[in-house]
Each structure stands twice: as C-alpha cells, then as structure tokens.
Amino acid sequence: MTFDELARYLEKLEQVSGRLEMTRILAELFSKVDAQEGKVVAYLSGGKLGPKYDSPDTGVAEKQVIKSIKLLGESDVEKVFKQEGDLGKTVERIKQELNDSDNKNSKSEIDDVYKNLLKIAQASGEGSQEEKIKLLSNLMDELSPREAKYVVKIILGKMRTGFSDMTVLDSLSWMIRGDKSLRNEIERVYNVRADLGEVVKLVKQSGEKIKNMTMTPDVGTPILVARAERAKSPAEIWERNGISAAEHKLDGLRIQAHVKKDQVKLFSRGLDNVTSMYPDIVDGLKNQVHKECILDGEMIAVDKNGRYLPFQETVQRKRKYDILEMMSKVPLKYYVFDLLLVESESLIDEPNEKRWKKLEQVVDKGEVVRLMPREIVRSETEIEKFFRASLKEGTEGIVVKKLDGVYRSGSRDFNWIKYKKSYDESGVADTIDAVVMGYDVGQGKRSGFGIGGFLIGVQKGNSDKYLTIAKIGTGLTDEEWKELNARCLKIRTLNKLDSYEVTKQMECDVWVEPKIVVEIKCDEITKSPMHTAGYALRFPRLVEFREMKVEDIASEKEIERLYKLQETDRQKGGGVSEDDV
C-alpha cells in the first residue's frame, strides 16, 4: 500500500466520530494490507513508530518541524501555524500554496516512509538536530500535501483519529467476519501480548484460526494486568471465595518486571516502559532474581522502620530527571505477588497457589525485592483479623485471592477481591477512576492556570461512549491546575466528540480527547438528572493523575453499584467503605 492511500484513510477517520463507522473504515484499511504492512499501519495510525512501551522517540519538537517546513521554501511558517493551529495542516497548506498537488502520483510505500521516520528517530550525537531537520524536510518534499500533513502528525505524536486499541480489535473481527463476533478471541491475544502491531500481524496471518490459538507471555512484551473486584465486607469475601490467600493492598505503583539474564524491563500498569526511572529496583531484581521470568507487584516507598509511606511519597520517584538524587531521598521496595512466566513456562492458567509456590523459589531474600505479606485465611473472622492487622501496617486494605484462581490478564473478576475501609467514615471512602472530557476557561486567579473547572466522565457499558458524572472546580493545588492545563492543551478538539453524552448544563468551553485519567475522591454519590451517568459526585476532588488505559476507568454500572452499596450501609447506620473503581 502507498502512504498516500494510508493518508486518505487517516483523513476519513478524522472526519468521523462514531465507533461503528471507524470500525468499518479500519476493517477496510486492514483488509488491503499484508501482515507486515498491517503491523506498521497499527503503529502509524496511532501516532507512534512502535508499540506504546517501545516506540522510538523521534526527538523532534514543533520548533524543529517549523525549521523543516521553512526549508521547503516558505519563510513565514509561524504565521500560517498561528492561523491553522496545527503543524500538520500548516505544512499541507504551505505545500498547496507552493503549487504542490494531492493529485500527483505518489509512489512512496508505507514501509519507505516508515523507514525514513525511523531514520529521523535514530539520528543522534553531535549535529543530530540539524540532521533530523534536513531528513524531515526532504521527506516532506517528496510527498504530497496530504501525506506531508500526516508525517508531521505522526512525528509529533499528535494524531487526531480518535479511536482506541479496542476499536482496532473490533475492526480486525469485522475484517474477518463482518461483525464483532471474534472480538473476544482477538482481545484474549492482545491481553497477553499487548503489542497492537503484532496482534494485527498475527490476525492477518491466522484469520479464523486466531480463535483456537493459545497465546503465552513473552519476556519483554507487557501483559495487561489482572484486576480485582470489590467487596463490602469480610462476610461477602468469605461467601464468594471460601479458604483463600489474603495479601496486603499497597497504595503504590503497580509494576510488571520482565527479567532475562542481566536484562530487566519495568512496565507500568498503563504499559509504559519505566525502567530508566527506577535503577534501584532494576539492581534489586538483578541481584535477587536469577531466572528468566515475568513478575507482577507493587512498588512503594518505606520509612527507615520499613513502614509503608503514603502514595504522595512514592510518586515523587516518577520522574525523568534528577533520578539518582531522588533515589537517595525516597528509596523504594518492590513487593511481588505474582509470577506469570518462568524459564519460558507460562503460568497464567495455573492456580494461584501454584504460582505463589514457584514465586517463593524465584525471589532470593534481599533488601529491595520482597514477597507481598500473605496469609491463608480459613474463616470470615480470619479475613477481618488480617485486614485489621494490615491497616496497622499502613496499607489501604487487603486483596483476597482464590487459591485455584488463574491470572485473568486484562480482566476484573472475583478471583481477586479488594477490601478497603474508610478512615473518615464520612462518605464514599475510596476513589473513582474517570476520564477528563473538557474544561472551562479560568477566571480571576485561575486565568493564569488556563482552567477554571473540568468535566469528568465514566464509560457507558463496554462502548467507546462516555457519560458525565462531575464537574470539578476545587481540590487541586496550583501546580495540579497547571499540569492539567498542559496536558489538555495537547489533546484539544475543535468540537465536542460524538462519543460524549453531555447535558446542556454541563457543556464546556473547551473539549479534549478522552486520554487523561484522574483518580477522584468524593464524599457521596447522589442521583442527578444534570449528569448523563444519572449520578453525581458530591464534593469531588483530585487524588492524582492515573497512569492507566482509558478502557480501565469506571463504568456507569460500577457507579450504580457503589451508590446502592452506599445506601445499604447508610441504612445500617455505618459509613461507606468501597474500593476504587
């Protein structure tokens, strides 16, 4: 396929907002490429040069792109950029004004353009910025205005196609069967090998056979994490799971560690490669783990007495600069609780009890990597006792796991059950993960922040649609307002997306793509006709920006369940103690 054909499909995708129409366009696109081209298309259409966890950084910012465009023969690029507000559209317009045509016979293949983009990303050392600028300018010069537009969007990571990985999985099923009936089988593969390009390639090669394929983990490719359901009491946990393993639930950072010989890679819950941020954890794994394996666990800061510290302490380590300085100020421990693969043997379909026994054999004793505190509980009373003891240790609760439960990658079920308790008994004790949909421009003091309040939403069922649940105007520090504004500026849209269901009262000044996930705490959930979720959060405030996929946010059904639990507890005269959604 030529890059011009791909650019035309990308243009179509930008012009539609309905998920079904996007699915059909993507299905048609993937039907016209071979397996290797499909892999590359999956990356490029998402504005990347590789999978999220291993996509080469082009090292090109807007200033460099402007310089590249000037080499085409237009000196006043900044003026056009100010008018268009988008550098992709800027280069398209400039090339058109230079009498370049979209109708010219472009013969550049997708793979040729991809290799040129990789060449730009790989340029390094002295004089590399000048080299990148020249390479980009030469590439744009060879392409039509439309093609050049998408090259710039890709290289800046600012695609506005508006679809998620899940939509791509839908499209692959649609490509094979003309419907979504193969979606679950394709998603099963993606959950274990979270590389969208490789999944597209595999589906193109396998077709219908994908439904019978057994997918095993691969060291170096992250697995979508298993997630826990919630319970409102030890009695419910006991009724569901019986004799189980109870573990501490830490308020830290979920980390998946991939160990192979002397190489260690760390992945966040959101599939980002964060290895460089935590050299102390990497060294600990090299010293204490001597088998090829994939570990799942929680990273957390502890004090000199080994007591868990609050999340605000741990999150200070999440940085790209001053890493060594902060490492000495905030040392971390990595508490592992699962083993997904060891020496090429997949364990995800093995019972939890077996995985734990093998985990004990894999991790040597040491200071950095530790086994998560765990106890077999044989009654409701023992669950309550372990829970109370864990709170005294500084945890946020416990996770109770079925001894015969498998590892449900990418899923939330009752194999794992989370149980947390309110520390203030004043309302909804814990947190809700939601997506930022839009914001209002700041007034007065907040005019300097750019944002005066922001609208959040939850997922509508399993769709790509979002329902509003709160507009937040308080509870953020000055720095958090500035950070939110900086994030929103990168993903603004001209109009409200069709996937957003919003009442007139909740309309925003500016709309953004659904890419920013926030963890929100509130005092109460109330019924509300003003919000399309049917509920509203009373006194909502930001806990943190979450590093997770939008597909993992709360759904309307989970909010409804929390509301019912809240009302049940209120009738009993107690506070609400419910886990984050």
pLDDT tens column, 8-29: 999 999 888 778 899 999 999 9
The DSSP annotation for 279-293 comes to HHHHHHHHHHB-S-E
pLDDT interval class at 575 (50, 70, 90): very low
- What whole-number distance in Å separates Cα of residue 527 and Cα of residue 520? 17
Residues 6+ away with beta carbon under 8 Å from 166:
187, 464, 551
Same domain, 447 and 405: no
Same domain, 411 and 436: no
C-alpha separations of 108 from 73, 85, 134, 574 in Å: 22, 27, 18, 67
| Residue with more model confidence, 19 or 51 | 51
Q: What element of type H or E holds 483?
A: helix 478-489
> How many domains would you assign to the chain?
3
Amino acid identity for residue 267 in this structure:
F
Alpha helical stretches, state H, 98-212? 110-122, 128-142, 145-156, 165-177, 183-192, 196-206
Position 464 in a domain = yes
Position 475 in a domain = yes
Same domain, 245 and 350: yes
> Quick one: tokens of 183?
């979606």
Number of residues written out for the chain: 581
Same domain, 67 and 98: yes
Q: Read off the pLDDT of residues 548-561 as tens digits, 9 standing for 90 and up.
A: 667 778 899 889 98
Q: E-strand spans in 269-402?
A: 293-301, 332-342, 345-346, 369-371, 374-377, 397-402
Position 162 in a domain = no
Contact 407, 340 (CB under 8 A): yes
User: Max CA-CA distance within the chain?
Assistant: 79
The model's pTM is 0.77
Neighbours of 149 (CB within 10 A): 25
Burial class of residue 47 (count of CB atoms within 10 Å of its CB; 0-12, 13-18, 19+)? middle
Instruction: Give the dihedral of Cα atoms 47, 49, 55, 58; nearest 10 deg.
Output: -90
- The C-alpha angle 160, 61, 548, rounded to 5 degrees, equals 50
Same domain, 447 and 348: no
Position 166 in a domain = no
pLDDT > 90? residue 50:
yes
Same domain, 407 and 439: no
Burial class of residue 6 (count of CB atoms within 10 Å of its CB; 0-12, 13-18, 19+)? buried
> Quick one: tokens of 193?
């090998």
pLDDT interval class at 434 (50, 70, 90): very high
Strands 466-472 and 244-249: unpaired
- The C-alpha angle 143, 135, 489, rounded to 5 degrees, equals 80
Supply the pLDDT for residue 103.
61
Q: Read off the pLDDT of residues 125-168 as tens digits, 9 standing for 90 and up.
A: 999 999 999 999 999 999 999 999 999 999 998 887 778 888 99
> Quick one: tokens of 520?
């929100």
Query: What CATH number has the domain bearing residue 482?
Result: 2.40.50.140
Same domain, 295 and 394: yes
pLDDT > 80? residue 412:
yes
Place of tokens 């979606």: 183
Same domain, 238 and 373: yes
Query: What CATH number has the domain bearing residue 111?
Result: 1.10.3260.10
Q: Read off the pLDDT of residues 100-114 as tens digits, 9 standing for 90 and up.
A: 766 665 689 999 999
Q: Which of 419, 452, 485 is the last residue of a domain?
A: 419
- What whole-number distance in Å separates Cα of residue 154 and Cα of residue 378? 55
Q: Read off the pLDDT of residues 488-512 as tens digits, 9 standing for 90 and up.
A: 998 988 788 888 999 988 999 999 9
Question: Which residues are the active-site residues?
Answer: 249
Same domain, 147 and 253: no
Position 457 in a domain = yes
Supply the pLDDT for residue 576.
37
Q: Read off the pLDDT of residues 351-394 as tens digits, 9 standing for 90 and up.
A: 999 999 999 999 999 999 999 999 999 999 999 999 999 998 98
- What whole-number distance in Å separates Cα of residue 142 and Cα of residue 108? 8
Q: What element of type H or E holds 325?
A: helix 323-329
Same domain, 506 and 537: yes
Helix axes 3-15, 145-156, angle to 10 degrees: 70
Same domain, 393 and 465: no
Same domain, 459 and 550: yes
Q: Which of 156, 190, 205 is the last residue of a domain?
A: 156
Which range marks the domain in which residue 125 is found?
A: 47-156
> Quick one: tokens of 551?
């597909």
Q: Which of 334, 335, 337 is nearest to 405 (CA)?
A: 337
Q: Which of 385, 419, 453 is the last residue of a domain?
A: 419
Position 201 in a domain = no
Burial class of residue 551 (count of CB atoms within 10 Å of its CB; 0-12, 13-18, 19+)? middle
Position 41 in a domain = no
pLDDT > 80? residue 300:
yes
**Cα(first)–Cα(last) distance of the chain, in Å?**
43
Supply the pLDDT for residue 425.
42
Q: Read off the pLDDT of residues 518-543 as tens digits, 9 standing for 90 and up.
A: 988 888 898 888 999 999 998 888 88
Contact 434, 553 (CB under 8 A): yes
- What whole-number distance in Å separates Cα of residue 431 and Cα of residue 541? 10
Position 28 in a domain = no
Contact 149, 14 (CB under 8 A): no
Query: What CATH number has the domain bearing residue 306?
Result: 3.30.470.30
Residues 6+ away with beta carbon under 8 Å from 411:
191, 226, 227
- What whole-number distance in Å separates Cα of residue 416 and Cα of residue 36? 38
